[in-house]
Structure formats: C-alpha cells, structure tokens
Amino acid sequence: MNPIVMALRGLYGVWLREITRATRDRAQLIGGISRPLIWLLILGVGLNPYFRGEVYGEVRFVIPYTYLQFLFPAVIVLNIMYTSIQFAVSVIWDREFGFLREVLVSPMPRWLILLGKVLGGATVATLHGALVLILARFADVTLSLEQVALALLLMFILAFGLTSFGVILAARVRSFEGFGVFSNTVILPLYFTSSSIFPLDPALTRAQQAVTYPEWLVFLVQINPITYAVDALRGVLINFNQFAPAMGVGVIVAMAVVFFVVATIDFARQ
C-alpha cells in the first residue's frame, strides 16, 4: 500500500478527532462566542466615544478609525490565542488519561501525529476567530470576500503557531490546575501589550509615541510578537498598519515554523 496515502489517512484521523472533540465541548464554544461579545459590546462600545485625538477640547490629531474598528482585529487575535493555547489542555489530557499511548504504538511517526493534532487545534482556533468576523458589520467594518480570505489565511497560520506554542507549554506543565494559572499569566499580558486595546501612538503617526507613552511600555509592545500579528490583521481588515505590512506576515510565519519545530522536538522526546 502507498505509504503516503497511509500517512495522509493517519493525519486526517488525528485531525478529525480534534475537530470532533471540539464540537462536543460546549464550554469551549460558549467561551469562543461570549469573549468577543464582551470585548466588543462592553469594552468596545464603552470606550468608543473616548477614542479621539482631543485633549481639553482641543483637537490634537485626526484619527481615521473608531475604537470599535480599531479593536475588532485584536479581538479576533484574542479569540485565537485563547483557543490555541487552551489546546495544550487536550495534549495534557491525552497524556494523563492514557490516550497518547494509543497513538504512540501506532505506525504513525511522532511528527506526523503532532502535525495532525496541531492542524486540528489550529482549525478550531481559526473557526473561533472567524466567529468574530460575523460581528464585522456591527463594528462598522465592511469586508470584501478577498479581505476575508486573506484574513482567514493569516488567522490559520497564527493559530498554527500558537497551537504549537500550547504544545510546548503542555510539555512543561504537569497538571491541569497548573495550566489554568499558566495560561492566564501568558495570554492576557501578551494581549494587553500587543497594542491591541490602545494604539502604540495615539496620533497614529508614530511621531509622538515615546512622548505619550512611557518607554518601557513601548518597549514591551515592540518586543511582543502578538503586536505584529494584530498589526497584520489590522492591515487586512481595516487597512491600517502601525508597522511595515510585511513585518506582521513575517512574524506570524516565523512563529508557526519555530514553535512547530520546537514542539516536534519536545514531543519526540516523550
């Protein structure tokens, strides 16, 4: 029998299992829906009027986007981050409850098993990100089909990288309880320092950034890879970039490659 066909069947089997499990996990789906609603409806709508270049009644700079529009791509990234990194729980689960051995004694090579799992996790995370896209009209974001396709592609590559990152975390965390704490101390700080809820430069021109925000914060934002992922999605969805457009794509792809390679090395060692 053709070994490539057999390998593809195995890959499909591992992927399908992740998808089936995710569709049966109501809590995850509820999280995927409620999270963007909270961020956009409450935070987005609440802060929308304050997002203006106005200080003491004097207009300092003109901002061409509403806060909801600005926040919208970031909420997609947030949803992907949560789902991807939570994916580590599935890896820990397999390990703790013995299912892992069922695949480890199968003829599938380790890296292929991991690829199937990560593709499955990334698919679920991308779908959770896409749930936010449904709210586009509400956030005053008009999208062409082309924009949606490009955004989905970027979202998937980002989800692939973050899911691999989740696997790397899983290899270092021994318990579910530990992981809960871990994921919150990883996801939220990364999200807040990714220029997701505030622009790096209030004038959106980069002219006054260091003046307006303390240097340490600007530094944190600039070294955070999520910053560039959010920026890439903003470029596609609302046509606004704070950095060179190629930079965002480059960082997303680099994360996917590096994290997957590290995760494979980790996984092979088990």
Partner 1 sequence: MTSPQPGPEAQSLSAIAISVDGLSAAYAGKTVLDNLTLEIRRGSSFALLGPNGAGKTTLLNILSTLRRPDGGSARVAGADVVRQQTEARRSLGVVFQDSSLDDRLTAWENLEFHGLVYGMAPKRRRERSAAVLALVELEDWRDEIVRSFSGGMRRRLEIARALLHEPQILFLDEPTAGLDAQTRVRIWRYLDELRRARDLTVLTTTHYIEEVEGADTICIIDHGKIIAQGSPEALKAQYGSRWLHLTPRDQAALEAIQAARPDAQPLGAHGLALPADDGAMTDAFLATFRDRLVEVRFQDPTLESVFLSLTGRQLRDRADDQHNADKAAGRRGGRR
Alpha-carbon span 121 to 152, nearest angstrom: 15
Q: Does 9 bind partner 1 (CB under 8 A)?
A: yes
Q: Which is nearer to partner 1, 120 or 248 (CB)?
A: 120
Longest dimension (CA), the chain: 75
Q: How far is the CB of 265 from partner 1 (least distance, A)?
A: 17
User: In this structure, what token pair is assigned to residue 228?
Assistant: 């560039």
Q: Does 99 bind partner 1 (CB under 8 A)?
A: yes
Alpha-carbon span 100 to 91, nearest angstrom: 8
Q: Does 10 bind partner 1 (CB under 8 A)?
A: yes
Q: Which is nearer to partner 1, 5 or 223 (CB)?
A: 5
Q: How far is the CB of 155 from partner 1 (least distance, A)?
A: 26
Q: How far is the CB of 125 from partner 1 (least distance, A)?
A: 18
What residues between 11 and 30 interact with partner 1 by CB under 8 A?
Answer: 12-14, 16-17, 20-21, 24-25
Radius of gyration of the chain (CA): 20
Q: Does 120 bind partner 1 (CB under 8 A)?
A: no
Q: Which is nearer to partner 1, 113 or 237 (CB)?
A: 113
**Exposure of 110 in the CB half-sphere (CA atoms within 13 A):** 11
Alpha-carbon span 173 to 175, nearest angstrom: 6
Task: Out of 50, 58, 102, 214, point to the residue binding partner 1 (CB under 8 A).
Answer: 102
Q: Does 31 bind partner 1 (CB under 8 A)?
A: no
Q: Which is nearer to partner 1, 13 or 31 (CB)?
A: 13
Q: Does 261 bind partner 1 (CB under 8 A)?
A: no
Task: Out of 75, 85, 92, 108, point to the residue binding partner 1 (CB under 8 A).
Answer: 108
DSSP category for residue 195: T
Q: At what angle do helices 26-37 and 110-133 cross, to 10 degrees?
A: 40
Contacts of residue 249, Cβ cutoff 8 Å, sequence gap at least 6: 154, 232
Alpha-carbon span 130 to 135, nearest angstrom: 9
Residues that bind partner 1 (CB under 8 A): 1, 3, 5-7, 9-10, 12-14, 16-17, 20-21, 24-25, 97-109
